[in-house]
Amino acid sequence: MNIEETKEAIRVMQAFVDGKDIEVLGPVKKWEPVNCPRWGWGDTQYRIKPTAKLRPWTVDEVPLGAWMRTMGYNHNKRRTLICGTYDESTRSLWLAECEHSIDNGKTWLPCGVMEESK
Domain that holds residue 68: 54-117
User: Checking DSSP bridges between strand 79-81 and strand 98-101, what pairing results, if any?
Assistant: unpaired
Q: Tens of pLDDT along 79-113?
A: 889 999 999 999 999 999 999 999 988 999 999 99
98 and 62 in one domain?
A: yes
Given a contact cutoff of 8 angstroms between Cβ atoms, the answer to whether 22 and 15 are in contact is yes
Q: What's the domain count of the chain?
A: 2
**What is residue 116's predicted lDDT score, i.e. its pLDDT?**
78
Please report, rounded to a whole number, the percentage of residues in the chain having pLDDT higher than 70: 93
The helix or strand, by DSSP H or E, that contains position 93, with its residue range, turns out to be helix 88-97
83 and 40 in one domain?
A: no
Q: What pTM does this model have?
A: 0.60
> Could you say which residues of the chain have pLDDT below 70?
73-77, 117-118
59 and 44 in one domain?
A: no
